[in-house]
Structure 1
């Protein structure tokens, strides 16, 4: 089943998910913004591998060469066979794909920059040396250096071709997709109870980052993704295959998802509070968890194969029976699957382009949509019913 033929399913599923989460923050707050007509001059993103467009490749090591085979055709620094959700959002905004801030080759920051680094978390420690506050510090330096160049350089045309205008920063859209690695690292290095108990510290660190952008950079427009169903990731399910009592009716690890839902609950509460505390700021909270969980639970109805199969084990060793393996002199080589558009998982941890497209279509086009928490500072959203 092609995605062109799935549009009607996407609209239907939007209502199903909305009912499942009880309308989120409130039925009257469920909206569908037509992002392209908002005319945001720039997009700045902070996050982990779910939205990394080349940061880890530039700073640490290249991602597997088999990545990007579906869309880009050449290494793109993404942990995916093609586009990520943020790429589809950029398309919707009418902006170019975001260049990674740390990439020095062929980058253009005229319409924003991506500070996301694979493995990053909200708190320090974990899988990456680039936690959220480091990403924020990088952004603030980028902003100050840009302002200095505009002030001191006589050739403004040269600067304008590669850098944003100083006035664009207050009108830009600031996106967050981070938190999954905080939970994952906690699961691997402490108990589930201890990980859940640490959630308030994660949320407070997130709020501090938002406040810094608001106060130091004049940011006003915020778009926040909650974390996905970590218990539905093939990498995690492998360790619970011998414990079927730990799995829910769709085969996901319920105890891990329960902690993810608690994280999302506290994140939503904090975003609501930030919307009240920061005058003139507008927040859009996107319930990615519900969309991704519905994708897994209804995978075969939507034209996908087993949601716990994947194409390539990437850099994660042989922890998951993933893709087609060939053993030569004791070395295991992974051959990517011939049709990743039929699978949800790309490398046992990250989604395929087809799955990312599905999620993006729902949060951008369907009735579930993002949820506006504060209309100040953002153009009015039109009624989502007009889409049907």
Structure 2
């Protein structure tokens, strides 16, 4: 057996052992029994916010599970959906979606294109959202205050049944998946030196949001770092004849991944500091980067095809038609349709993951294998011992 194979097997074994050990360690401890989830993030966890504000995501999004577009940038469920399933809670309604929403067990403040800090560039031209993290936490504050007012008025029992109980806000799980768009915006308008210098401010603004929620009563935080941005197929659409060293041995853009790693390093350090600043908080840092990169490196081992293949959209010979879009080229209509078998793909549309990949990631991280401290999500309310 080659050295690479030995290392790979050892890694898989160690991850499986860590997950099993973590679950065994906490088996004797009652789970947290979270009554609700409040999520903050970007398109990786948006369940309908950006669709409610700017118009619905078109077919074939949602085809694998919801059988229709469901406000999610995937063919089906996102990681936040699998988190809700794992905790026995319903899927989260978007705070920005007023039609048919039920907030009894939480709300989703994430919107596609969101960043941690506000952007000075044109948000619409560059695919960014006006709902940066500080706006999302302001929405939560408004949601919490309005919920309390309506609940205590108790004029309409039907409406009250769609609202969380005020006493349950402090017992809920607060999840975060945001930061990717801050880096991608930086890649467009900043030099590498400037972007690296900006990371400290981005991370500090992330910490300010968590501190604000803590002051509002939040106690259990599940915080994802950012993924391997340089491994997104869309990152390589227009790259031709890259210089030696530009790509790593798996085809990912090395500099972009290095910047994501630096962001994650600083984020983890800041979370460690927050544990001292917020003494009653339980803060779990989740290494999504390593989980996703492991899947991309070993796609075939886990039953997926080439991770650079995209299920939805048409991208070839300098022609790009994004998923669900149509265009006319040389009097011929080209549709960015679905591959028809997304279960074998990691990338859905070049930027977002398929439901199958999201499911794999959920199964990999929720047992605590990639968490610091290594706690399964259903024990994330337990405070870290300093």
| Same fold, TM-score > 0.5, yes or no | yes
Q: 1: distance between equivalents of 2:287 and 2:26? A: 14
With over 3 angstroms needed to count, the CA separation of the structure-2 counterparts of 1:320 and 1:355, relative to structure 1, is farther
Query: CA shift at 1:31, angstroms?
Result: 9.3
SS at match of 1:265: helix
Q: 1: distance between equivalents of 2:221 and 2:95? A: 19
SS at match of 1:196: helix
The within-5 A match list for 1:1-388 is 13=12, 15=14, 37-125=31-119, 126=123, 127-155=128-156, 157-215=157-215, 217-245=216-244, 246-313=246-313, 318-319=319-320, 329-365=331-367, 368-372=369-373, 378-379=381-382
Residues 57-77 of structure 1: CA distance to partner in whole angstroms, max 9, x if unpaired? 001121122111101112200
Residues 194-219 of structure 1: CA distance to partner in whole angstroms, max 9, x if unpaired? 2121101100110110111011x110
SS at match of 1:224: strand
Flag the structure with more relative contact order, 1 or 2, with Cα contacts below 8 A and sequence separation at least 6: 1
SS at match of 1:120: coil
Query: CA shift at 1:227, angstroms?
Result: 0.1
- Provide the residue aligned with 2:4 in structure 1: none
Residues 139-191 of structure 1: CA distance to partner in whole angstroms, max 9, x if unpaired? 10000001111222345x43441000000101111011000000001101222
Tell me how many residue pairs correspond in the alignment: 362
Q: 2: distance between equivalents of 1:319 and 1:198? A: 32
Give unmatched runs, 5+ long, in structure 2: 1-7
Query: CA shift at 1:276, angstroms?
Result: 1.1
Q: 2: distance between equivalents of 1:176 and 1:285? A: 10
Give unmatched runs, 5+ long, in structure 1: 1-8, 382-388
With over 3 angstroms needed to count, the CA separation of the structure-2 counterparts of 1:229 and 1:44, relative to structure 1, is same
More deviation, 249-258/30-39: 30-39
More deviation, 232-241/345-354: 232-241
Instruction: Please tell me the root mean square deviation across aligned C-alpha atoms, in Å.
Output: 3.3
Query: CA shift at 1:12, angstroms?
Result: 6.3
With over 3 angstroms needed to count, the CA separation of the structure-2 counterparts of 1:81 and 1:287, relative to structure 1, is same
- Provide the residue aligned with 1:385 in structure 2: none
Query: CA shift at 1:320, angstroms?
Result: 7.6
- Provide the residue aligned with 1:5 in structure 2: none
TM-score, L = length of structure 2: 0.85
Query: CA shift at 1:377, angstroms?
Result: 8.3
- Provide the residue aligned with 1:3 in structure 2: none
Q: 2: distance between equivalents of 1:319 and 1:270? A: 39
With over 3 angstroms needed to count, the CA separation of the structure-2 counterparts of 1:223 and 1:314, relative to structure 1, is farther
SS at match of 1:332: strand
SS at match of 1:301: coil
TM-score, L = length of structure 1: 0.85
Answer yes or no: is the 8 Å Cα contact 1:10–1:361 preserved in 2. Answer: no
Q: 1: distance between equivalents of 2:239 and 2:25? A: 37
Answer yes or no: is the 8 Å Cα contact 2:312–2:322 preserved in 1. Answer: no
SS at match of 2:206: helix
SS at match of 2:366: helix
SS at match of 1:302: coil
Answer yes or no: is the 8 Å Cα contact 1:229–1:289 preserved in 2. Answer: yes
